[in-house]
Structure 1
Amino acid sequence: METTWSSTEGITVTTNTTGDENEFTSTTLLIFVKVLAVLAIFLCVLLNPLMLVTLRRVTSIQPTTKIFMASLTLSDLCNSLCWILPLTELFAGSWLLGDFLCVIYIVTSYLFPGLIMFCLLILTVDRYIAISHPLRYPSIMTEFRSKIIVFSTWAAQSIICLLGFGIPGSRIVSLDTRYHICLAGFDWRQYLSFTLLVFTILSILIMYAHIAVIARNQARRIAAENQAGNGQGGQRINTRSTTTIIIITGTLIITWIPSVIRLVIDSQNQWEPYDSYLAMMFTNVLLLCNGWLNVIIYYLRNRDLRQAVRTLVSDWHQSLQQRFLH
């Protein structure tokens, strides 16, 4: 609010500059979210199927770990495909798809991000067992058990989201006379989601901290044994795959931090409905970006996966050349 004095008229003129600034900020944020969402969806839909095909060709990774990685990659892909619904809302300026698809959108917006978090937790547990109990790992984590774990996780998360967010009264289509937006109301479901999110992140951090301690102790022990046996320095333990998953975990945590902050602010009702909508879309887009960031990290950190991708792309290129030549 800005007040100026007019000498000619002898009156005070008041202009609402704060409202204009807020509207400009909201418009800028909305444009940024639109661009980032389109880019993230394109990269996720392009890279995640490529990652699923590549995982089938790699033989150096444990079959159980490949199952867990495939589950995470499929969750990222499904999350990106379901983003077509909110993307139409972003560009149309209001929700035009009706109540039923609004419920579908609310359910999937909690279903697949939750699956991504739980899949990462399972991957962390898998790596923890492999490093802390390497000799017993093949008997503890079998392919059958890994498939049961993945199936149970998907089934439980689907049932919980359908019952929790698919019931009537769990969404708002019309917020006011200007905006018509599909947005879930804040209640005990959001508190539960927030609690599970914090618990999962803390569990992952604790396990990886223990993994780092175990790896360091093993490196020191091997170095001491080699030096005592032949007077040479110890060989470095290959922890590249563990480091890759740690980087993936860190990336996920970074993309989830804004969501945690938003949930805290939403619980205190400090935002207007449309500001809450913009904040939700921005944090959800950040979560969507994690879907293609995971693939980039896999490609850059794992030599076998990188080579498999190159071979796959080369085979496709040769196949296309032969098809067009003939």
Structure 2
Amino acid sequence: MQAVDENELCFPTLFNSSCRKTNHPPSISMLIYFTLSSISVLTIIPNVLLVIAIIHFRKLHSPTNFLLLSLAVSDFLVGFLISFQIMLMDGCWYLGDIMCAMYLFLDYVITSVSGGTMVLISVDRYVAVCNPLYYPSKVTAGKSKMCILLCWASAVVFHSLLLKNNLQNPGRYKSCYGECVVVVEYIGEILDLFFSFIGPITVIIVLYSRVFVVAVSQARSMRSRVAAVTLHGSVRVKAKKSEMKAAMILGVVVVVFFLCTCPYYCVALMAQDTGVSTSSVAFLLFYFNSTLNPLIYALFYPWFRKSVKIILTLQILKPGSCDTNLM
């Protein structure tokens, strides 16, 4: 029987029941640490700035921006969870069974909330572009907040039931000390896959397909009438352009979400060993989606760039700064 060096164990004092560490070459360890740390920082800071901006500035209190706020909160939590992945580089969990269960539970919840928020964004744009006359009455800030609350609550309740055994008896499925794992029944995995990915993606594709068709139709209509509009008509044309521009920007967010999450779920759906490198790339891409979202806002939304400048220069502390016009 081959002897095991104590340095290879997560808990050397528990020689007979400790898990073994995952040994990486120093260069690989540094690369993993640098990559995960960079993604974590680049995810947390911009999303915190976005959360502060939407909460502080009253001009940003719109139904669409409240949805972006929900997405930013979930993205911030993703950046926070990445720090735990850094700790797991050697394959050992040192924070105990309760923290392990809560960490994985939060991971499940955030994943579902991100998908649910994307669905709400798609519905918001669908109503704004396809039914613009009814948008102000159908989509209000209060209704937006209620939908966001229901999205978070349903994700928490669903995964509390899904992970009930793991939450009631943390660590019951671990095979050795230093392992952080949860076990979900096969039917539960299928439900989670549908709840967090297949269902949201299906709804998003259907709604945005309709939005794209209507946007193209409206663009052609506006081009044909642009030379003969009255002042009132020009205002209406500008409003339509603004709604379509918002739809296109949020469409980019949805497409990025799809491209980043699809490989991860495809690996999970195939339920087979696809190799360490492929799984690792899909895993990193899944988390990297939360880093890209605020960068998309910074690229396309002038109000986000202005708000960040005000926050970083501490002008946000001035009296009346919450009423600053960022548009």
Report the TM-score when normalising by structure 1. 0.75
| Aligned residue in 2 for 1:113 | 111
Q: Post-superposition shift, 1:227?
A: 4.4
Q: Deviations over 1:144-164 (max 9, x none)?
A: 211111111111111111221
User: Which of 182, 185, 193 is the aligned partner of 1:184?
Assistant: 182
| Aligned residue in 2 for 1:215 | 215
- Residues 283/201 of structure 1: CA separation in 2 closer, same or farther (3 Å cut): same
Distance in structure 1 (CA, Å) of the matches to 2:55 and 2:316 = 19
Deviates more, 1:105-114 or 1:161-170: 161-170
Query: Is the partner of 2:52 in helix, strand or coil?
Result: helix
Query: Is the partner of 2:165 in helix, strand or coil?
Result: coil
Distance in structure 2 (CA, Å) of the matches to 1:174 and 1:282 = 26
Q: One-letter code of the match for 1:190?
A: E
- Residues 146/24 of structure 1: CA separation in 2 closer, same or farther (3 Å cut): same
| Aligned residue in 1 for 2:121 | 123
- Residues 174/86 of structure 1: CA separation in 2 closer, same or farther (3 Å cut): farther
- Residues 223/182 of structure 1: CA separation in 2 closer, same or farther (3 Å cut): same
Give the paired residue count: 285
| Aligned residue in 2 for 1:249 | 254
User: Which of 120, 143, 146 is the aligned partner of 1:145?
Assistant: 143
| Aligned residue in 2 for 1:42 | 41
Distance in structure 1 (CA, Å) of the matches to 2:61 and 2:49 = 19
Q: Post-superposition shift, 1:307?
A: 2.2
User: Are the equivalent residues in 2 in contact too, given 1:103–1:166 (CA < 8 A)?
Assistant: no
Q: Post-superposition shift, 1:79?
A: 2.3
| Aligned residue in 2 for 1:70 | 69
User: Are the equivalent residues in 1 in contact too, given 2:122–2:208 (CA < 8 A)?
Assistant: yes
User: Identity percentage over the alignment?
Assistant: 20
User: Are the equivalent residues in 1 in contact too, given 2:40–2:80 (CA < 8 A)?
Assistant: yes
| Aligned residue in 1 for 2:264 | 259
| Aligned residue in 2 for 1:6 | none
User: Are the equivalent residues in 1 in contact too, given 2:53–2:308 (CA < 8 A)?
Assistant: yes
Distance in structure 2 (CA, Å) of the matches to 1:209 and 1:60 = 30
Q: Post-superposition shift, 1:73?
A: 0.5
Which consecutive unaligned segments of at least 5 residues does structure 1 have? 1-22, 320-326
Deviates more, 1:40-49 or 1:53-62: 53-62
Distance in structure 2 (CA, Å) of the matches to 1:117 and 1:88 = 27
- Residues 107/29 of structure 1: CA separation in 2 closer, same or farther (3 Å cut): farther
Please report the RMSD computed on the Cα atoms of aligned residues, expressed in angstroms.
Answer: 3.3
- Residues 52/167 of structure 1: CA separation in 2 closer, same or farther (3 Å cut): same
Which consecutive unaligned segments of at least 5 residues does structure 2 have? 1-21, 231-236, 319-327
User: Are the equivalent residues in 2 in contact too, given 1:255–1:290 (CA < 8 A)?
Assistant: yes
Q: One-letter code of the match for 1:205?
A: I
- Residues 300/60 of structure 1: CA separation in 2 closer, same or farther (3 Å cut): farther
Q: Post-superposition shift, 1:167?
A: 1.8
